[in-house]
């Protein structure tokens, strides 16, 4: 059974600080996804990581993938309030169906 | 708007009633997925279509659930004899064959009283 574990599940940060969200997954998949979800809204695709060592950056967010360690990270640089949301990682399985983690609720405080 | 659309956005029903949701994927996307998300959890895979063929169903999809994609375009998800445990957000996503990224619709929030 596929398992995706995120930590932390809750993260309260101050604006301007840096932090990393970790995503461990259970299989040898080389496809890892990061999504953002605002309260009551659907999921917005942030990053698709398709190979070992992949690194992608968009604004203050950077995601990386280590398939040997079965680990992906989402690094937040100099957090701002607009980044407050729930962040999900998901592993791509057969037929590209996604197995999601429980999500990390990020709150950025002024 | 050319994104994934879902209808209705909200549905309140009484236990035992049947409900049907619709998903219109992004035009030309031949893969369509249904997921269910309960409060405080990540989405869970329910079923998947490639064109009109339903290729995989999760064990979460009990006999009361049925999904169709009759012409390989829009899809419907029907829940018969709803139970309170069916209350959740039902999300639809679509993608192109050979492309990993899935695009999600706004979801249908179901509340079973």
| pLDDT averaged over 10-residue windows placed end to end, chain B, 113 residues | 89 98 94 94 94 90 93 94 96 87 94 97
Mean pLDDT on A9-31: 91
- Which chain A residues have a beta carbon less than 8 Å from that of B108? none
Report the distance separating Cα B7 and Cα B15, nearest Å: 20
Q: Choose the weakest-confidence range: A11-20, A25-34, A41-50.
A: A25-34
Three-state secondary-structure class, residue A41: coil
Query: Rounded to the nearest 5°, which phi and psi values hold at A92?
Result: -90, 120
Judged by a CB distance cut-off of 8 A, whether residue B54 touches chain A is: no
In this prediction, residue B12 carries a pLDDT of 98
Closest Cα in chain A, distance from residue B75 (Å): 17
Contact A98 B103 (CB under 8 A): no
Helix (H) / strand (E) element for A72: namely: strand A71-76
Report the distance separating Cα B55 and Cα A95, nearest Å: 9
Query: Least CB-CB distance to A97: which of B42, B45, B103?
Result: B45
Q: Is the link from the previous residue into B85 a cis peptide, with omega within 30 of 0?
A: no
**Alpha-carbon torsion, ordered A37, B60, A48, B28, to 10 deg:** -100
Closest Cα in chain A, distance from residue B29 (Å): 14
Answer whether residue A93 shows pLDDT above 80: no
Q: Which two tokens stand for residue A74?
A: 């989402």
Contact A97 B56 (CB under 8 A): yes
Contact A103 B42 (CB under 8 A): yes
Closest Cα in chain B, distance from residue A45 (Å): 7
CA B88 remoteness from chain centre: 11
- Which chain A residues have a beta carbon less than 8 Å from that of B102? 33, 45, 96, 98
Q: Which two tokens stand for residue B103?
A: 């695009």
Q: Which two tokens stand for residue A54?
A: 């992949």
Compute the residue count for chain B: 113
In this prediction, residue B79 carries a pLDDT of 97
pLDDT tens digit sequence for B55-85: 999 988 889 999 999 988 999 999 999 999 9
Report the distance separating Cα B100 and Cα A96, nearest Å: 7
């Amino acid at each position: 059974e596929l398992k995706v574990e995120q930590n932390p599940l809750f993260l309260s940060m101050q604006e301007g600080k840096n932090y990393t969200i970790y995503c461990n997954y259970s299989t040898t998949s080389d496809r890892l996804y990061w999504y953002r979800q605002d309260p009551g809204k659907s999921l917005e695709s942030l990053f698709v990581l398709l190979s070992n060592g992949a690194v992608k950056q968009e604004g203050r967010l950077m995601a990386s993938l280590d398939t040997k360690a079965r680990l992906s990270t989402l690094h937040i640089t100099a957090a701002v309030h607009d980044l407050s949301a729930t962040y999900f990682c998901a592993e791509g399985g057969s037929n590209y169906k996604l197995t999601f983690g429980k999500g990390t609720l990020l709150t950025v405080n002024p | 708007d050319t994104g994934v659309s879902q209808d209705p956005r909200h549905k309140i029903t009484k236990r035992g009633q049947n409900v049907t949701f619709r998903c219109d994927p992004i035009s030309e996307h031949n893969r369509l997925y249904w997921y269910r998300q309960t409060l405080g959890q990540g989405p869970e895979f329910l079923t998947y279509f490639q064109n009109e063929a339903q290729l995989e169903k999760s064990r979460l999809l009990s006999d009361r659930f049925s999904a169709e994609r009759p012409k390989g375009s829009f899809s419907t998800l029907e829940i018969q004899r709803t139970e309170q445990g069916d209350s959740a957000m039902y999300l639809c996503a679509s993608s192109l064959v050979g492309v990993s990224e899935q695009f999600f619709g706004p979801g249908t929030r179901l509340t079973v009283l």
